[in-house]
Amino acid sequence: MKSMKVLGFLVALSMVAFGAGPGKSALHGEYVEARTADVFTGACFANSEVNLTGNLAVFGWRVSKGTFEGVRLDGLGVVGVVEASATLGDIHNSAYPAKSVLIVDERANVEQRLALRNFARRMGGDLLQDVVKVLYAPVDLAVENNNVHNATATLKAGSFAEIQTRAIREADKVCMHEEVWYAPLTKLDHAMPAYSLAHNYTGDGLNTKWSSPGKRSAFVGTFQFED
């Protein structure tokens, strides 16, 4: 009987040591993305961009409250930066392979940093499967008046990446029959297309750095994840 108790203790200890049996995940928060092609547009404009641009993107999450794999992530953020092989979201051509950089909130502890990386890869899917570099910086995502419906938000990941958005206006329309041409890069509860006042990446790891402001290329939204 004593040997059985010892065996049970050793099994439990090995599960802890090797991270087996992760805790439940349930969290929600805000999200923003921007690309180098318009996401709210019409065929007259989209056809001039497809296969020529739109292969670069910055997108980020801020956890309002919750845990991922049992790790509390309240107030922390993580950002993905992607360089794809073709226009992201194009249904006629694959955007893969894609390379990516992760920017993890430097305010997180060691356990939280790992959870944020795993969360981003879970939410980003194939876009974040080939992570070539991980950077650490303060990640701040603020939505004006805590209302994503007005589509006004700011995302800053240290000095590496930035997005600033505002609501799309009538004066922004070119084709006069614009619609949401591409879906958001990740699953969201709610998303509003937005105008990018700023969209840049200046970090290392990819083959390029960019600044792509002044486009109808963003989404502002909310996410909720439970597993």
b/e sequence 58-73, b meaning 16+ C-beta within 10 Å: bbbbbbbebbbbebbb
54 closest CA partner among 23, 26, 27, 85 = 85
Q: What is the mean pLDDT of residues 10-36?
A: 70
Helix (H, G, I), strand (E, B) or coil at 21: coil
Average the pLDDT over each of 21-25, 92-96, 103-107, 176-180 and give the range with the smallest value.
21-25
What value does the mean pLDDT of the chain take?
90
Distance in angstroms (rounded) separating the CA atoms of residues 33 and 161: 11
Distance in angstroms (rounded) separating the CA atoms of residues 63 and 123: 13
Distance in angstroms (rounded) separating the CA atoms of residues 15 and 150: 46
Give residue 175's pLDDT. 84
**What confidence tier does 127 reach under pLDDT thresholds 50, 70, 90?**
very high
Average the pLDDT over each of 43-57, 76-90, 111-125, 199-213 and give the range with the smallest value.
43-57
Q: What is the mean pLDDT of residues 161-166?
A: 98
Share of the chain above pLDDT 90, in %: 78
Residue scoring higher pLDDT (140 or 14): 140
Domain extents in the chain? 31-226
Q: How many CB atoms lie within 10 A of CB 111?
A: 12
Q: How many CB atoms lie within 10 A of CB 212?
A: 20
Peptide bond into 97 cis (omega under 30): yes
Q: In this model, does residue 21 exceed pLDDT 90? A: no
| pLDDT 10s digits, 149-163 | 789 999 999 999 999
Q: In this model, does residue 25 exceed pLDDT 70? A: yes
**What confidence tier does 36 reach under pLDDT thresholds 50, 70, 90?**
very high
Cβ atoms 36, 49 nearer than 8 A: no
Give residue 22's pLDDT. 59
Give residue 7's pLDDT. 39
Give residue 20's pLDDT. 39
| pLDDT 10s digits, 169-179 | 999 988 888 99
64 closest CA partner among 72, 74, 56 = 74
Map 141-180 to HEC letters.
EEEHHHCHHHCCEEEEECCCEEEEEECCCHHHCCCCCCEE
Q: How many CB atoms lie within 10 A of CB 74?
A: 12
Which residue has tokens 């937005």? 194
Average the pLDDT over each of 10-14, 100-104, 183-187 and give the range with the smallest value.
10-14
Query: What's this model's pTM, rounded to 2 decimal places?
Result: 0.88
Q: What is the mean pLDDT of residues 182-200?
A: 97
Distance in angstroms (rounded) separating the CA atoms of residues 64 and 146: 11
Most distant CA atoms of the chain, gap in Å: 79
Q: What is the CA radius of gyration of the chain?
A: 20
